[in-house]
Amino acid sequence: MSINSHDHSLPRRLAASLFAAAITLSTAVASFAADTVVLRVGDQKGGNRSLLEISGYAKDLPYKIEWSEFPAAAPILEALNAGALDVGYTGDLSFLSVYAAGAPIKAIGGTRSDAKTQAILVRQDSPIKSAADLKGKRLAGTRGGWGQFLIDATLEKAQIKLEDATFAPLGPVDAKIALVAGSIDAWAVWEPYVSFATLKDKARVIADGEGLTPTITFIVASDNAIANKRAAVQDLVQRLNKARLWSLDHISEYARSTSELTKLPEDVLLSAYTAQRTSPIVIDENVVKEIQQASDRSTRYGILPRTLDVSKAVDRSFTAAAAGSN
């Protein structure tokens, strides 16, 4: 081999070697980048993580989910607001309460349950027979969410002034204890608490949310996650929608499996799931209009501090894309 021949082949071999190395490196970088897409998702016991795993839609994720379990929706919203989570879920009005305070979040998907599964409960031995008997009574519910709204809407429907009853802001665990102990007269809550209270504590339903509440649970994402993790967030919304549809066709299996995971009674969960018939929604004009009406009522009740434009609180593109892909 001549010196000239060697001189020409070396750069060619070096270039080929560098090109191969570059391809390998770029493939590795792309693979590494894919591996490092992590969605930080807030959950409650027996919630979306359980639903995805039981339905089989937690398999073959093209990203990683870092689950954090919370006792209620309020701390999930706080974590989203603080940037500690990418995605969570909460009732429509709780979401709006935090959004109204300036949280950088949007509703991107969700589900609807039967409004009758929001209810006002009294003890079995209570003299209260209907909403008309709530005047002058002490009523417990979640502040800024479904509980407070249902109490105010029920009082208004019964033509009772809001100030003619006492609102006790209590979360579900404390309110259940207070109702059994007799320190409150009635409790506004949702499933599975309604089924647990009626089946195990023999509580009675004296009013429900039919015609009063949208009963929508929103999937909520931070603005940062929407901007920077959109593909993963979109995929999660689609999987949750498909898992929810699966649950409607497998209510008994879903209740049994969730009972095993959460240690909640299977009969309570079966009752709750059967009553709720929780279905995925597309955030469209009708949903925005419905939530706007509930938002305006919440402002009138003093639950929300100001009038909101709900269309700015939602990102409709995620469920539009999910609907188009199914």
For the residues 295-300, what does the mean pLDDT come to? 96
More confident residue, 3 or 122: 122
For residue 289, CA distances in Å to 106, 214, 217 come to 16, 11, 16
Which residues lie across from 139 on neighbouring strands? Answer: 167, 186
For the residues 183-204, what does the mean pLDDT come to? 96
Please tell me the distance from the alpha carbon of residue 291 to that of residue 309, in angstroms, as a whole number: 10
Band (pLDDT 50/70/90 cuts) for residue 36 is confident
Quick check: helix, strand or coil at residue 182?
coil
Please tell me the distance from the alpha carbon of residue 79 to that of residue 85, in angstroms, as a whole number: 6
Residue 32 is predicted with a pLDDT of 40
Residue 310 is predicted with a pLDDT of 98
Band (pLDDT 50/70/90 cuts) for residue 323 is low
**What is the CB neighbour count within 10 angstroms for residue 243?**
21
Band (pLDDT 50/70/90 cuts) for residue 324 is low
For the residues 200-225, what does the mean pLDDT come to? 96
For the residues 146-161, what does the mean pLDDT come to? 96
Residue 96 is predicted with a pLDDT of 95
The token pair that represents 71 in the structure block: 């006792």
For residue 91, CA distances in Å to 25, 72, 96, 145, 210 come to 46, 11, 9, 7, 16
Please tell me the distance from the alpha carbon of residue 199 to that of residue 295, in angstroms, as a whole number: 33
For the residues 129-152, what does the mean pLDDT come to? 96
One-letter amino acid for residue 33 of the chain: A
**From 8-12, 34-38, 121-125, 174-178, the region with the lowest mean pLDDT:** 8-12
Band (pLDDT 50/70/90 cuts) for residue 79 is very high
How does the average pLDDT of the chain come out, rounded?
89
For the residues 22-39, what does the mean pLDDT come to? 55
pLDDT above 70 (res 311):
yes
Please tell me the distance from the alpha carbon of residue 220 to that of residue 87, in angstroms, as a whole number: 6
The pLDDT tens digits for 178-191 are 999 999 999 999 99
Band (pLDDT 50/70/90 cuts) for residue 154 is very high
Q: Which domains does the chain have, with CATH numbers?
A: 37-114+215-325 (3.40.190.10), 116-208 (3.40.190.10)
**Position of tokens 């009574």?**
137
Band (pLDDT 50/70/90 cuts) for residue 20 is very low
By the 8 A CB rule, do 48 and 197 touch? no
Contacts (Cβ under 8 Å, ≥6 apart) of 118: 146, 150, 188, 189, 190, 194, 208, 209, 213, 215
DSSP track, 73-100:
HHHHHHHHHHTS-SEEEEEHHHHHHHHH
Band (pLDDT 50/70/90 cuts) for residue 322 is low
Q: Are strands 166-169 and 138-141 parallel, antiparallel or unpaired?
A: parallel
By the 8 A CB rule, do 73 and 96 touch? no
Residue 8 is predicted with a pLDDT of 46
By the 8 A CB rule, do 143 and 169 touch? yes
pLDDT above 80 (res 142):
yes
For residue 42, CA distances in Å to 85, 104, 138 come to 7, 16, 32
pLDDT above 60 (res 58):
yes
The pLDDT tens digits for 83-102 are 999 999 999 999 999 999 99
The pLDDT tens digits for 224-254 are 999 999 999 999 999 999 999 999 999 999 9
Residue 35 is predicted with a pLDDT of 56
Give pTM, 2 decimals.
0.84
pLDDT above 70 (res 16):
no
By the 8 A CB rule, do 238 and 148 touch? no
One-letter amino acid for residue 255 of the chain: A
Residue 73 is predicted with a pLDDT of 86
Please tell me the distance from the alpha carbon of residue 104 to that of residue 290, in angstroms, as a whole number: 22
